[in-house]
C-alpha cells in the first residue's frame, strides 16, 4: 500500500458512519494529502467509490485484506 498522511479506523462502524468520519477527517487535511481508511462494513466498498465520484476526491486504492476493507483517498 502506498504512503498516506492520515489514517482512519472505521472498523465496526456501519453505514453511513465510515463515510461521515472519512469526510470529517478529509475536512482537516490539505489538498493532495492521502487518507487511509480501514472498514469492516461490506457496503463501504461501493459507498467509497460513490463518495469519490461525487466529491471529486480520488479513490486511489480499494482492497480487501483479511476480511477488512482498505481504501486510499486523495483529497481534491
**Contact set with another protein (CB under 8 A):** 12-17, 19-20, 22-24, 40-41, 51, 54-56
Nearest distance from residue 23's CB to another protein, in Å? 4
Q: What is the DSSP letter of 60?
A: E
Min dist CB 7 to another protein, Å, is 19
Q: How far apart are CA 32 and CA 12, in angstroms?
A: 28
Cell representation of residue 74: 486523495
Q: Is residue 69 within 8 Å of 47, Cβ to Cβ?
A: no
- Which one, 1 or 68, has the nearer CB to another protein? 68
- Is 15 known to be catalytic? yes
Amino acid at each position: 500500500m502506498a504512503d498516506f498522511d492520515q489514517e482512519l479506523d472505521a472498523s465496526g462502524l456501519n453505514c453511513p458512519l465510515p463515510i461521515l468520519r472519512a469526510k470529517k477527517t478529509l475536512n482537516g487535511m490539505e489538498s493532495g494529502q492521502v487518507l487511509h481508511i480501514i472498514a469492516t462494513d461490506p457496503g463501504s466498498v461501493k459507498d467509497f467509490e460513490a463518495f469519490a465520484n461525487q466529491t471529486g476526491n480520488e479513490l486511489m486504492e480499494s482492497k480487501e485484506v483479511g476480511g477488512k476493507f482498505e481504501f486510499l483517498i486523495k483529497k481534491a
